[in-house]
Amino acid sequence: MRNHTRTHRLSQRAAPFTTTTKATSQAERARRLRYNFQPVLTCLVGSFADVPQDLLKEIQELECLFTIDTAKLKQITNRFQAELDKGLSVEGGSIPMNPTWVMSFPTGYETGTYLALDMGGTNLRVCQITLTEQKSEFDIIQSKYRMPEELKTGEADELWEYIADCLMQFLETHHGDTSKLEKLPLGFTFSYPATQNYVDAGILQRWTKGFDIAGVEGHNVVPMFEAALAARGVPIKLAALINDTTGTLIASAYTDTKMKIGCIFGTGCNAAYMEDCGSIPKLAHLNLPPDTPMAINCEWGAFDNEHQVLPRTPYDITIDKDSPRPGQQAFEKMIAGLYLGEIFRLVMVDLHDNHETHIFANQDISKLRKAYSLDSSFLSAIEEDPYENLSETFELFQNKLDITPSLPELELIRRTAELIGTRAARLSACGVAAISRKKSYNTCHVGADGSVFNKYPNFKARGALALREILDWPEKNDPKEDDPIEILAAEDGSGVGAALIAALTLQRVKNGNMHGILHPENYQ
């Protein structure tokens, strides 16, 4: 079951953002400059010297479909900001804006040993984190467990039992005989939309990211989780149920006090930020001190579920229609890693079947027809192909799909990947801009994590450019100058962030702040 166990001492500083590009040719650099970094001009046809007219026409059409110009970005951002407000109102809106009962930033002086469980989209991770006496430092031991695909659409009991087994195995490995162990406090990163009336409870609003397990939506997940722990005698007490974005926000703020927003651009896409209780009308009935902070898990993946402003393509409509939750997560389905490869695949199949050009004519595309067979790393690989003749992309298509693309088809493939990746990055910037504007943050840091942010080529640069366009920043005098709002690689939210939130919650209970605590006995 276990893949590997690593023991590290991680540095206190956020890891620098890196991309793994290979040596880039002159021509490639020129290509990237032409296509990737220009402020996007709508419906611009690339100068593809060798591409025949009919394919050029297809490329032009794709450019029209997928390009989002500055004016549109601004329009999306305006609506986004209004929707953030709506989510905090009593009536509510599409964006859930879930209060999380995380009621302060860390100081950097938190201490103690905590467990963290991360139930993300792909893996299950268990960590033991020690927040040391030294400011903003920590030690971490972690094990990753595969999240079997069948669990994502299986039975609820099986899910909780599997999680409890992983936790037990972790404790046995690192603590030996668990029967003698005092109950350890745990931060559980459950990265799905949950209504939290308490920090130690969460009613699943709906599954996202392709999960579809019956009997969990509409229920508090904590008792289900705790029942599985109790059945196995796993010595753990839950201190906080956490969203990965909130964890990212808190973990990043632990080492950098300029961090104001935490984002995930991974399998899913979402953000959290710190609001004042007085600005959350839907909590007014609780009479919380108005200037007390409250982290809000936006669940912004649900932005524009009513399809008012996002320029959806026919491919986005298909993705939604064929997903386990049609009508949900409209924004996420255009951005997140789970969907980028699928959008690309749908474009390719459509150009083979339905257009006059018939790309990959007379070839067997049965492998390409398999839904969700291409993930976002496939697009990353295409965008990273350093060769002018796109030989790596050629090999990728041959090896993975048994398709032999012509050179002009390779150009179209490359351009399609760029368009999809660029659109995702530019749309992401709308969310960051909307929160920044709402909070009047003219300068701040945004901590971002997730496979798309960390691994997708140019995602960061494309997002930064879009942010500049939306917020009308003047041109830089020096390219090395920092942007007023910078999206930076975050600290480990679902490990260190979860531990910090457990520590902050235990501390505030000790100080007598019992707001949003369901089981005070767990905090003794």
Instruction: Give residues in contact with ligand GLC (CB under 6 A).
Output: 191-193, 208-209, 243-245, 264, 266, 268-270, 299, 301, 332
204 versus 506: smaller Cβ distance to ligand GLC = 204
Nearest of 271, 251, 246 to residue 485 by alpha carbon? 271
Nearest of 415, 378, 312, 391 to residue 57 by alpha carbon? 415
244 versus 304: smaller Cβ distance to ligand GLC = 244
CB of 512: closest distance to ligand GLC in angstroms? Answer: 30
CB of 214: closest distance to ligand GLC in angstroms? Answer: 18
Beta strands at 293-297 and 98-99: parallel, antiparallel or unpaired: antiparallel
Are the C-beta atoms of residues 207 and 334 closer than 8 Å to each other?
A: no
CB of 230: closest distance to ligand GLC in angstroms? Answer: 26
Q: Report helix, strand and coil shares of the chain as percent, to nearest 5.
A: 45, 15, 40
Alpha-carbon distance of 378 to 241, in angstroms, equals: 33
CB of 446: closest distance to ligand GLC in angstroms? Answer: 15
CB of 508: closest distance to ligand GLC in angstroms? Answer: 23
DSSP at 490: P
Sign of CA dihedral 209, 213, 217, 223: negative
Strands (DSSP E) found in 197-268: 203-204, 236-242, 259-265
Alpha-carbon distance of 263 to 451, in angstroms, equals: 12
The CB-nearest residue to ligand GLC is 268
222 versus 509: smaller Cβ distance to ligand GLC = 222
The residue annotated as part of the active site, out of 118, 200, 244, 304, is 244
Are the C-beta atoms of residues 345 and 381 closer than 8 Å to each other?
A: no
Instruction: Please state, in angstroms and as integers, the Cα–Cα distance from residue 402 to each residue in 189, 345, 346, following that order.
Output: 40, 14, 17
Instruction: Please state, in angstroms and as integers, the Cα–Cα distance from residue 46 to each residue in 29, 42, 60, 384, 469, following that order.
Output: 15, 12, 8, 18, 22
Are the C-beta atoms of residues 242 and 183 closer than 8 Å to each other?
A: no
359 versus 434: smaller Cβ distance to ligand GLC = 434
208 versus 393: smaller Cβ distance to ligand GLC = 208
- Residue 75 structure tokens: 């329009």
Please indicate whether residue 244 is annotated as part of the active site: yes
Cα 172 to chain centroid distance, Å, stands at 31
Amino acid at position 73, single letter: L
The residue annotated as part of the active site, out of 118, 136, 200, 206, is 206
CB of 10: closest distance to ligand GLC in angstroms? Answer: 21
Alpha-carbon distance of 60 to 56, in angstroms, equals: 6
What is the three-class DSSP state of 267? coil
The residue annotated as part of the active site, out of 94, 191, 436, 451, is 191
CB of 65: closest distance to ligand GLC in angstroms? Answer: 24
149 versus 353: smaller Cβ distance to ligand GLC = 149
- Residue 57 structure tokens: 């026409």
136 versus 208: smaller Cβ distance to ligand GLC = 208
Show which residues are catalytic.
191, 206, 244
